[in-house]
Amino acid sequence: MIFDSHAHYDDEQFDEDRDILLSGMEEAGIGGIINMGASLEGVAASQALAEQYPFVYAAAGVHPDHTGSLNEENMQWMYGLCRKPKTVAVGEIGLDYYWDKESRDCQKKWFITQLDMAKETGLPVNIHSRDAAQETFEIMKKEHAGTTGGVIHCFSSSAQMALEYVKLGYYIGIGGVVTFKNARVMKEVAAAVPLDHIVIETDCPYLAPAPNRGKRNSSLYLPLVIREIAEIKGVTPKEVEDATYANVKRVYPKIQ
Ligand SMILES: [Zn+2]
């Protein structure tokens, strides 16, 4: 079975057919999905989806673009959510120096605060890092290494950096980008990271794999990502599917 380790089904792009789509997942071989928090509204919506669908799990965390909305009070609310049985991760959290929607000080402050929340509640993390590879790595090494582990989602740095994260005990999230013709670095990452440290993800509705690039993405397209990774690694798609599913259970222990 296929596990989508990073999705945003609360996005308005799914408003018209969310239930039809999610109701067909198990039949299509999608055995599990983690719906990630991005904004505070997204965190609440992830909880609702996890309550509604047995195979959907929630993550609680605020994306760097939305860290300006965090305060003591809503952090306390998230602590409570982290202790629920179907909240399996703190995410997505990190640094985004590409969009720079919040000041870098604000992003760093809340990144560290949310890493603390993960440590204190015993949850792994799901990390978003864009144009901030070195600083993300430094913070994680200092604040989080060797504790609860987690996934570097939509990994977009070098193969060498990916292996540094693997050394710290993290897993690498690979999605649709690996299928793009010009994604040379991403293909190198998929080749370099051992199969027992890769998880697959959509980040849907974004980043649909080729040949659907630019369309609305969903977990139903994950076989395209699996096929690409299998080809790069010289193994069968079934091996990639089984290994990445086992990896999800290892990195997110609340999923069994
Ligand atoms: Zn995301």
Distance 36 CA to ligand 1 centre (A): 6
Distance 207 CA to ligand 1 centre (A): 10
What's the pLDDT score for residue 149? Answer: 92
Q: Going by C-beta distance under 8 Å and a sequence separation of 6 or more, which residues neighbour residue 86?
A: 50, 51, 57, 58, 254
Distance 234 CA to ligand 1 centre (A): 28
Q: Each residue of 107-128: pLDDT tens digit?
A: 999 999 999 999 999 999 999 9
CA 40/CA 62 separation, integer angstroms: 7
Question: Band of the pLDDT at 167, cuts 50, 70, 90?
Answer: very high
What's the pLDDT score for residue 146? Answer: 58
Distance 249 CA to ligand 1 centre (A): 19
Global pTM? 0.96
Q: Each residue of 202-249: pLDDT tens digit?
A: 999 999 999 999 999 999 999 999 999 999 999 999 999 999 999 999
Describe the strand order of the beta sheet including 87-96 as a list of residue ranges.
Answer: 2-7, 30-35, 56-59, 87-96, 125-130, 150-152, 171-174, 198-200
Q: Each residue of 55-78: pLDDT tens digit?
A: 999 999 999 999 999 999 999 999
Distance 196 CA to ligand 1 centre (A): 22
